[in-house]
Amino acid sequence: MNTLTSTSDEYQQLAKLKDRVTYSWEQLKLFMEREEIQYHEYKDDMACDAAFQLIADREPVPFLYRVMPDRDLIELSALIVDKYDESRLHEVMLLACHFNELLRNGSVEVVLRAKRVFFRNLLPLKDVILEPDSMNSSIFSHMTIAQDVKEAYIKLIEDFEEPVVIIGETIKKDRERNE
């Protein structure tokens, strides 16, 4: 590789790092447009939301993508459960704990007062700059995991399956997907 070209590429990446927040925000919007995703933009908050039909015959799942300049991250968030019966809190928390033990990227978060469940992941801004495909792969991976988490909570809340059984099925499904 030509040393001059290599130095030029490194300089361009360093220049992007200097304005990493704006660059990452622009890349997020470009991703949404390139994938033809209908989204709503919140310029002041550097955020956009969209809804995806993850499971047939179900309401679309709301997703929020937000650049967090103070933390040098992009937050990827999906609302998994909008409301759950308070009597099921133990099972809801137990399933979240099982997922969080298994997940390498992201976490399942239970918001007690609102009785909501989210699946969140964080993408470092430097990854967006240094690895051009990181945003695509992170968002698609987030959607795949969000679908698994959503399906698991449907089994828990509507079908009254036990958390340990649900996690076992989810692990088996993930192994089959990766074979």
For residue 4, what pLDDT band results from cuts at 50, 70 and 90? Answer: very low
Per-residue model confidence as pLDDT tens digits over 15-47: 656 688 999 999 999 999 999 999 999 999 999
Percent of the chain at pLDDT > 90 equals 82
Asked if 79 and 116 count as a contact pair (C-beta separation under 8 A), the reply is: yes
Q: Which of 62-66, 115-119, 129-133 has the lowest mean pLDDT?
A: 129-133
Answer yes or no: is pLDDT of 119 > 80: yes
Give the residue extent of every domain in the chain: 18-178
Hey, what long-range contacts does 165-168 have (CB within 8 A, 24 or more apart)?
166/95, 166/98, 167/95, 167/98, 167/99, 167/102
Q: Residue 19: its pLDDT value, please? A: 85
Full DSSP string of 126-171: HHHHHSTTHHHHHHHHHHHHHHHHHHHHHHHHTT---HHHHHHHHH
How is residue 99 written in tokens? 């997922």
Please determine, for residue 142, whether its predicted confidence score (pLDDT) is greater than 50.
Answer: yes
3-state helix vs strand vs coil in the chain, percent to 5: 55, 20, 25
Average pLDDT over all residues of the chain: 91
> Degrees (nearest 5) of the Cα angle 116, 176, 140?
50
CATH entry 3.20.10.10 includes domain 18-178: no
Bigger pLDDT: 99 vs 8: 99
Confidence of residue 132 (pLDDT cuts 50, 70, 90): confident
Arithmetic mean of pLDDT, 144-154: 97
Q: What pLDDT score was predicted for residue 156? A: 98
Is the pLDDT at 2 greater than 90, yes or no? no
Dump pLDDT digits (tens) for 64-101: 999 999 999 999 999 999 999 999 999 999 999 999 99
